[in-house]
Amino acid sequence: MATIVGIRFKRAGKVYYFDPTGFEDLKAGDWVVVKTSQGVEAGRVVIAPRQVFDEELKTALKPIHRRADWRDLTEMERLKLKEPEVLATTRAKVREHGLPMKPIRAEYNFDGSRLTIYFTAEQRVDFRALVRDLTKTLKARVELRQVGARDEAKILDGIGKCGLRQCCSSWMTDGFPRVSIKAAKNQGLPLAPSEISGNCGKLLCCLTYEDDQYTAIKGELPAVGTRLTSARGTGEVVEINVVKEVAIVRWDNGNLLEVSADAFRELAERKQ
């Protein structure tokens, strides 16, 4: 058995695991300083120390360097307050160099020695001269990172069509799901792009959340157009209501009747 602690470095970011030896009393919400492949970083504990089987570990765990104290948190906040100004400087430099790119966020690392600038562009951009200029101006090692439409929406944050904070910015930590127009059709949603697209301009990630359930319920109900025969006579399925789990049948006398999925399931069991 091995003991691990889960640490997150960014809001709605991936959880990384470290060896908490010497810091077994860490609790969710505590800040710690660790050494990563990108250098020294500060992260927040999101999974308190616990034991897992050795086979669950894919790589050797790095140790916790130390707890973050008030001085660390104060410096992190100071650097964060500088980021809007740095972003404005970067945008001005981009205009000077005449590059077809849009910087959307500047982000310092823990100690301010490295600065990551996220940008969008419709094509690959040769920004080597820009990096040299920014490094000289901002007195930090600069990394420019191109992102797509979904990552841009995640970074900028916002409110979704549901009136809640975007899923990608609040809790989605393992990338984006694969979404197809088939999910919208399966759920009987309007196919107008304005109705099924998110702030990123892509299909809503939430189209995937209930798609399997819709498919399962539809599999227990007859398709629209199916002819049915019962003691009431004959009729035709004219609508499927997945939320209520019923098929709406119009009998030949014109009457409409809701027939539940349970009724069709019971009928199928009798035939077996």
Per-residue pLDDT for the chain (272 aa), expressed as one digit of tens each?
Answer: 889 999 999 888 899 999 999 999 999 999 999 999 888 899 999 999 998 888 888 888 999 999 999 999 999 999 999 999 999 999 999 999 999 999 999 999 998 989 999 999 999 999 999 999 999 999 999 999 999 999 999 999 999 999 999 999 999 888 899 999 999 999 989 999 999 999 999 999 999 999 999 999 888 888 888 888 877 788 899 998 888 989 998 988 888 888 888 887 776 666 65
HSE, side-chain direction, 13 A CA sphere, residue 72: 16
The answer to the question of residue 157 being in a domain is no
- Full-model pTM: 0.80
Distance CA 205, CA 208 (A): 6
Q: How many domains does the chain have?
A: 4
The count of residues in the chain is 272
The answer to the question of residue 212 being in a domain is no
Residue 243 neighbours by CB under 8 Å, 6+ apart: none
Same domain, 60 and 90: no
Tokens of 195: 């109705």
The answer to the question of residue 213 being in a domain is no
Distance CA 241, CA 197 (A): 23
Quote the strand ranges of the chain, DSSP E: 2-8, 15-19, 31-36, 39-52, 62-67, 102-108, 114-120, 141-146, 227-230, 233-241, 246-251, 256-260
The answer to the question of residue 152 being in a domain is no
Distance CA 238, CA 228 (A): 11
The answer to the question of residue 239 being in a domain is yes
Domain that holds residue 52: 2-67
